[in-house]
Amino acid sequence: MRYVQSLFVILSAICLGLVTYRAQQTELIAEQVRQDMGWAHRYAAASVAAAAGSHDAAVHAGRQSKSALEAARQALEAARRSGEAARHSGDAAQQAGASIDRLDGAVRHAEDGAQQAAASAQQAAQAAAASLLGPGIRRVPDALLAAVYRIQVDGIGDVSWRGSGVAVGPDLIMTAAHVADGAVKIFVGVRDENGVEAMVEAEVLVCLDQDAVDLAVLRVPGAKLAHVELAPAEEIRVGMPILSMGSPAGQSPLTCSLGWLAAAPPDAALWQGSCAIFFGNSGGPVFDANTGKLIGINVQGRGSPGAGIAANVNIFVAPHEVAKALAQARLAVTPVPPPTE
């Protein structure tokens, strides 16, 4: 019986030891589990914080994506409008090109018409000139063209001007007084036998009051100029055809226009014709269109004068005043010797 009790005590001690061991092991496992749960809790908290940050970043990225999408939509709309404008511009450019082509065609047509009109006008003018100049004359004689000269005047300082003149003797040029007045130096364009012009210095022999007569006579020493004659008074009448000529500034080499002697008061210093006269024709000759003789010197034009534009009325010095000035110039060149005792 004692043996059984001892065995029972031993077995109880063993069981108690096992239970205690298992309890200690369980306590250790529980402690490990508690530690693991602490780490898991901290990890879960970090994960939650990271998830929250990721959520905020995702929300911000979403907003930025939405803004970028809106900007892309606006850019697409602007590109669409630009394309539409470019298409309209292309249509407008095509229409402008077509208009330019039509305008170019109209200009060419107008130029052709102007050339035809100019040719017709030239033919008509030639026919009219031929009828006025007489049945045997079809153009201005070379002798008249050769007698018209260009005049260059240098004034005080850098001032200079131009005019026209006509040779009335081998070394004498007649021009307007307002051309020669104020000249420091005055030059005449003298042509050689080949037509090459050289500016030769001249001297002023006569320079009358330009408000009254407006005539001047120049001398080109040693020259042998092609010159013209004065028309006799009995050959001059109102209604006769006249030629106005000159060598205007900026024009080369001469101008020539045909008209009528419109007014010729016997006692007046200035007469009037219907010839066109260009700026720079002052001092140029007025000829009898039938005989080619000199009847006057142009001093002004009236109508619509301008650079290269002809006035439609010419005012010129009457032939009797021309004759007086020429006589005075010849007297200055060859003075009358004093009477002998």
263 has which bridge partners? 272
How confident is the model at residue 304, as a pLDDT? Answer: 43
Segment of 20-34, 106-120, 171-185 carrying the highest mean pLDDT: 171-185
State how far the alpha carbon of 206 is from the alpha carbons of 182, 199, 327, 328, 329, in Å: 13, 20, 10, 7, 6
User: By the 8 A CB rule, do 304 and 312 touch?
Assistant: yes
Same-domain status, 190 and 79: no
Per-residue confidence band for 65, with pLDDT thresholds at 50, 70 and 90: low
Tell me how far the alpha carbon of residue 92 is from its chain's centroid: 28
287 has which bridge partners? 243, 294
Per-residue confidence band for 131, with pLDDT thresholds at 50, 70 and 90: low
Instruction: Identify the CATH number of the domain in which residue 319 sits.
Output: 2.40.10.120
The pLDDT of 247-254, averaged and rounded, is: 65
How confident is the model at residue 255, as a pLDDT? Answer: 84
Is the pLDDT reported for residue 161 higher than 80?
Answer: yes
Q: Give a yes or no: residue 264 inside a domain.
A: yes
Torsion of CA 155, 161, 164, 167, to 10 degrees: 20
Residue 334, Cβ neighbours under 10 Å: how many?
A: 7
Which of 85, 110, 136 delimits the end of a domain? Answer: 136
User: By the 8 A CB rule, do 217 and 262 touch?
Assistant: no
Is the pLDDT reported for residue 23 higher than 60?
Answer: yes
Q: Among 59-63, 130-134, 189-193, 307-311, where is mean pLDDT lowest? A: 307-311
Same-domain status, 275 and 318: yes
User: By the 8 A CB rule, do 270 and 286 touch?
Assistant: no
Q: Give a yes or no: residue 185 inside a domain.
A: yes
Q: How many domains does the chain have?
A: 2
Q: Give a yes or no: residue 38 inside a domain.
A: no
Alpha carbons 162 and 289: distance in angstroms, whole number: 26
264-288: pLDDT as tens digits = 888 888 888 888 887 778 899 999 9
Is the pLDDT reported for residue 96 higher than 50?
Answer: yes
Same-domain status, 85 and 202: no
User: By the 8 A CB rule, do 290 and 231 touch?
Assistant: no
Alpha carbons 229 and 225: distance in angstroms, whole number: 13
Pairing relation of β-strands 185-191 and 241-246? unpaired
Same-domain status, 216 and 117: no
How confident is the model at residue 310, as a pLDDT? Answer: 41
182-240: pLDDT as tens digits = 889 999 988 888 878 889 999 999 998 877 788 999 999 988 998 999 998 888 899 99
Give, in degrees to the nearest 5, the angle at Cα 327 between 200 and 215. 60
- Name the residue among 193, 131, 205, 176 with its Cα closest to residue 297: 176
292-317: pLDDT as tens digits = 999 999 987 654 444 444 445 678 88
Same-domain status, 194 and 265: yes
> In the numeric block, which tokens belong to residue 239?
């209604």
